[in-house]
């Protein structure tokens, strides 16, 4: 596909983007598809769609609704405020808060219908007192630390923590859960560690059952755990990055296809693309050095295009120094100089007919080429989660629905 075809196919800037032709496109059809796929993997357990951090920068409310339409039955967030935002939008699914709120916040948290994660005595006491005063019963999922060592009750303290929940008449012990730090790892040590965590969770469940407090629900799997460890699927799988179309493995579709164990599911579909338009074109001589620092001299006379987004929008400065590219005219083009707060400059090569208004794709497809969030992450030495969450709030999210329920 030549450049002019790509430009016609992409069409005009969405009308509600505003004065700056930059936007992130969110495909709700892809969210539904991914939720359906992951739901089949999790079955007969439930699928919990993780929509914390504004849905990994995709827009929590729109993603939550599409995930529920695709088959998710739970939602998960990081903070009570994120959960209340979903409830205020009219979303009726159960919402799990993944981290324990501070005791002083409990009075504002209970009574909103959120399911709390708790793992400390003082938070349990505060939640019980606030729930009693509010005249409600609050569901509690107790988190046990099986090796992540971030939050959660230590195994030696778990029984006392659960007994404290059960002793509060306004709290209901509804689940036991844990989290995996290396389920996405490919080394034998990673697999052994994750399998040991699954066993530890089972031992914790048995300990509580012997004490008369059998957990009504058990969950452990994140995206990687759900896809690669059938024994981790249990009663619910909490899927984040896979919901947004990024398989949580270094090897993408072959690994996903192999571990899906006869589900017949198609590949995950990317949900987000990051797009812009050229706002200025200059023809520069060889050895000119665009942008701050004048770090790079053009090797030959070249067309340099200015694109109106920068590190305030999620394009880190090091994306230039590490050799990142964008798509213009269906081809990968290197940056011509340092990323600035509001703009990048792109080296489109000698003799190119790039023009103001041409489409630029930073994440997504253009013609036969594509740039993915995992490719960005590889360049930047990070993970796709950070790439998505780094796309700033002044980048409008434009919702599309390319394939309906398909």
Q: What span, in angstroms and rounded, lies between the C-alpha atoms of 378 and 49?
A: 25
Task: For tokens 């509600």, name the residue.
Answer: 16
CA nearest neighbour of 374 among 265, 244, 287: 244
Ramachandran area for residue 287 (φ above 0: left; ψ -120 to 50: alpha; else beta)? left
Known catalytic residue at 296: no
CA nearest neighbour of 38 among 271, 272, 250, 222: 222
Radius of gyration of the chain (CA): 24
Known catalytic residue at 292: yes
Intra-chain end-to-end CA distance of the chain, in Å: 26
Strand locations in 120-271 (E): 138-143, 171-177, 218-221, 236-239
Catalytic residue among 56, 292, 296, 311: 292
Q: What span, in angstroms and rounded, lies between the C-alpha atoms of 34 and 45?
A: 16
Catalytic residue among 52, 143, 244, 277: 52
Token reading at 42: 């999790």
- Catalytic residue positions, numbered: 52, 292
């Amino acid at each position: 596909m030549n450049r002019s075809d790509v430009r016609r196919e992409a069409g005009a800037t969405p009308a509600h983007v505003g004065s700056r032709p930059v936007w992130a496109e969110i495909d709700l059809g892809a969210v539904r598809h991914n939720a359906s796929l992951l739901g089949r993997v999790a079955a007969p357990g439930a699928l919990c769609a993780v929509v914390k951090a504004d849905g990994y920068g995709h827009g929590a409310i729109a993603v939550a609704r599409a995930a529920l339409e695709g088959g998710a039955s739970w939602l998960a967030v990081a903070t009570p405020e994120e959960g209340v935002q979903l409830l205020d939008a009219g979303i009726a699914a159960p919402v799990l808060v993944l981290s324990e709120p501070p005791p002083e916040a409990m009075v504002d948290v209970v009574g909103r219908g959120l399911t709390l994660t708790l793992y400390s005595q003082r938070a349990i006491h505060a939640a019980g007192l606030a729930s009693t005063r509010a005249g409600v019963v609050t569901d509690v999922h107790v988190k046990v630390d099986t090796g992540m060592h971030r939050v959660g009750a230590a195994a030696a303290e778990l029984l006392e923590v659960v007994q404290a929940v059960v002793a509060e008449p306004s709290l209901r012990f509804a689940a036991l859960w844990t989290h995996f730090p290396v389920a996405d790892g490919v080394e034998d040590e990673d697999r052994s560690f994750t399998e040991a965590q699954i066993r530890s969770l089972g031992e914790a469940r048995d300990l509580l059952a012997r004490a008369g407090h059998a957990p009504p629900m058990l969950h452990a799997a994140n995206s990687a755990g759900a896809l690669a460890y059938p024994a981790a699927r249990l009663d619910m799988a909490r899927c984040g990055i896979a919901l947004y179309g990024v398989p949580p493995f270094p090897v993408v579709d072959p690994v996903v296809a192999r571990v899906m164990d006869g589900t017949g599911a198609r590949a995950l579909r990317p949900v987000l693309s990051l797009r812009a338009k050229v706002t200025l074109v200059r023809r520069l001589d060889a050895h000119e050095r665009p942008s701050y620092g004048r770090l790079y001299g053009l090797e030959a006379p070249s067309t340099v295009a200015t694109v109106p987004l920068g590190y305030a929008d999620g394009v880190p400065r090091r994306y230039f120094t590490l050799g990142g590219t964008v798509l213009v005219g269906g081809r990968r083009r290197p940056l011509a100089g340092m990323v600035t707060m509001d703009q990048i400059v792109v080296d489109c090569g000698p003799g190119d007919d790039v023009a103001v208004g041409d489409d630029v794709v930073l994440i997504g497809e253009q013609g036969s080429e594509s740039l993915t969030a995992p490719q960005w992450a590889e360049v930047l030495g990070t993970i796709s989660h950070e790439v998505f969450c780094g796309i700033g709030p002044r980048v409008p999210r434009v919702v599309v629905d390319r394939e309906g329920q398909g």
